[in-house]
Amino acid sequence: MRLPVWLAGSVFVALLVGTAPGLHAQATNFPDKPPLLVGAAWYPEQWPESRWDQDLALMQAAHIDVVRVGEFAWSTMEPAEGQYNFAWLDRAIALAAKHHICVVLGTPTAAPPDWLTTKYPQTLRVEADGRRAEHGNRVQFSFTDPLYRKFAHDIAEQMAIHFGHNPDVVGWQLDNEYGEPDFGPSAQQQFHQWLEKKYGTIANLNRRWATAYWSQTYDNFDEIPVRATDENPALLLDWKRFVSDVWKSYSLNQISAIRPHADPRQFITTNTMGWFDGFNEYTVHSVLDIAAWDDYIDSDHYDYLENGARHDLTRGYKMKDFWVMETEPAFVNWRPTNTPLQKGQVRDMAWQAVGHGANTVEYWQWRSAPNGQEEYHGTLLGADGTPVPVYYEIQQVGKEFAAAGPEIAGTSPHSEVALVNDYDSRWAITFQKHSAGFDPVAEMLAFYRPLRTQAQAVDIISIETPLDGYKLVELPALNVISQSMADRLMAYVRQGGHLLLGPRTGMKDEDNALQPERQPGPLADFLGGRVDQYYALDTNVPVSGAFGDGTANIWAEQLQVESPDTKVLMTYGKSNGWLDGQPAAITRKVGQGTITYVGAWFDAATMSRMTAQLLDEAGVKPVLTDVPEGVEVCRRSDGQKSILILINHNATEEHVALPEPMRELIDEPGTVNAVDLPEYGVAVLEAEK
């Protein structure tokens, strides 16, 4: 099936009209707006208009500068097909402006109205088991259905015509939290078309997928099943790539509706969900102006290093500053036990976001709806419309953002070390874990934690990101690797870079097939070593060597040295017989650079010692030395000025000595040589000019 003419044309228009100017170090492209914003999700359509001014006055008192509106208001904007009503939204935006609050407009396509899905049931998404979604929740639409694309394009275009040059609208959020794919007829047809374009002939697909296995051979593309699990590994990987391309085209469909009618200063983004891997974020973000994400704590207790990693992940989508489009005001409603953040941690999280490159922090939500599925979610106002306790902590954040914003403007985080996040590799491992405990994100975090703690700055990047300027690059588990990737990595080492490969690197090629060479595939000769065999572990295995004595668990690879230039760093102790006395980590120097392969999932202490040695060899120094454990150091700079953000994530007071006198930006004015941080305390400092 070919793309409909209207859709193909809209994609072409999007490529012609371009995108908004980039946002590198200020929240918006509008110079009259504050450089650092605090915001909230506001739903005026859910409340009497007589209440709006009181809400906005409370926002202004809390130093809230921006609201996101509209992303779930389709039935209010278009109450019947082709009948648009934006008058209420005009009034809401104008009233917000009177309170010095600007607006991000959300296109409402995550929750289509009942008139649409009832009259056109083909626009509803089909689950993998064949059941069609129903009205009454959200994300019930088919992201591939041409008719749904047309309705989405039309509502976005009407909004852009109406609001595209409103000076109080600073940006657009497309949809809300892209997530669920469709397995219905339109998705099947488009997947088959996508495969035919990629492979050309069914014979080529059969060859590359090795479909002779289990008699999977296909006679034509229409025979290929559409499933997300329990299939040929190549099919599963291509399905994820297809889903990523569809979400990209889904974005382009709305971008092509908005951009021709919008002020070029208005950015276009969407809100993402941290480690969510339903699609390739780098693919989707390639057509967006900035990245934005929804910062919610996944567990009962705030893990600042894991949360910081998700900020760094989001910054890496566009390699520039980003927005936090939603975050929790103390608690959520969807965890098994919705424990609150400790008093002070809401402020702690806000400043951590800024320290990692956010220029806006918005809270979800301002006030809960009178009814609906999220009644127990945290808010800034109670059901009676008066502030709840966390309102005052967010008010403090807003006051501090206003004070420090002018100095922070123009600055961004910078790092000399990078961690590679690769969706193909994460998917490939998840399809065939081999060890139930091998979670690719947990492995990523095992590498990230000591890097962030010791280097105090980490970029999480795509494998396609240029590596120039990084002294150390770590690939925790680059499972899927092409020859072109290998060539880039070898060039990086030859130019003096230090490269670390983690376990399971180089097992697969682009088709999710085992490499014809042993691991690490096309890097094996360059490493001067290889993986002889891999083993899933259910007990600890002792390791010892250059990184001290420790243990490996979950995964271990038996390495072999094949070059006299390659040195053994770590060796396994007695375990299953196969690993006894065998190399666990090896390294080779190439020119001024090094390539190191770690074949096991080491314990945290061993990872910390390994990281310290690698950073030392690469010449990476921390921003501050002798920092107490649990105190996070963030630096933003612009080449001229340097801003230091210190966050005490501990429940005890901590003392931090500074390398030079610095000026306080949010506390009492003055120059200090050291700071005493109370529990969950924050200091924002600028180096003396």
Give the number of other CB atoms < 10 A from CB of residue 8.
Answer: 12
Say how far apart CA 584 and CA 580 lie, in whole Å.
10
Helix (H) or strand (E) holding 193: helix 185-199
Angle at 419 (CA atoms; ends 417, 423), nearest 5 degrees: 155
Per-residue model confidence as pLDDT tens digits over 564-600: 999 999 999 999 999 999 999 999 999 999 999 999 9
pLDDT averaged over every residue in the chain: 94
- For residue 2, is pLDDT > 60? no
Structure tokens at 642: 């340097």
Let me know if 362 is a catalytic residue: no
Per-residue model confidence as pLDDT tens digits over 535-571: 999 999 999 999 999 999 999 999 999 999 999 999 9
Let me know if 326 is a catalytic residue: yes
- For residue 18, is pLDDT > 60? no
pTM of the shown model: 0.95
Catalytic residue among 45, 71, 78, 177: 177
- For residue 179, is pLDDT > 50? yes
Q: Which residue has the tokens 């910062």?
A: 295
- Predicted local distance difference test score (pLDDT) of residue 441: 98
pLDDT tier, 608 (very low <50, low <70, confident <90, very high otherwise): very high
Per-residue model confidence as pLDDT tens digits over 386-418: 999 999 999 999 999 999 999 999 999 999 999
Question: Taking residues 421-429, what's their average pLDDT?
Answer: 98
- For residue 44, is pLDDT > 50? yes
Q: What is the largest CA-CA distance in the chain?
A: 80
- Predicted local distance difference test score (pLDDT) of residue 668: 82
Task: Specify which residues 674 forms β-bridges with.
Answer: 657
Residue 602, CA atoms < 13 Å, CB-side half-sphere: 28
Catalytic residue among 78, 157, 306, 326: 326
Question: Taking residues 321-349, what's their average pLDDT?
Answer: 90
Say how far apart CA 73 and CA 369 lie, in whole Å.
13
Domains in the chain with CATH codes? 33-181+265-409 (3.20.20.80), 417-618 (3.40.50.880), 631-687 (2.60.40.1180)
- Predicted local distance difference test score (pLDDT) of residue 4: 33
Question: DSSP labels for 600-615?
Answer: EEE-HHHHHHHHHHHH
- Predicted local distance difference test score (pLDDT) of residue 12: 30
Question: Taking residues 645-659, what's their average pLDDT?
Answer: 97
- For residue 212, is pLDDT > 70? yes
pLDDT tier, 5 (very low <50, low <70, confident <90, very high otherwise): very low
Question: Taking residues 186-204, what's their average pLDDT?
Answer: 98
Task: Specify which residues 501 forms β-bridges with.
Answer: 475, 597
Per-residue model confidence as pLDDT tens digits over 81-122: 999 999 999 999 999 999 999 999 999 999 999 999 999 999
Structure tokens at 166: 């409103």
**Single-letter amino acid code for the residue at 541:** V
Angle at 273 (CA atoms; ends 271, 277), nearest 5 degrees: 120
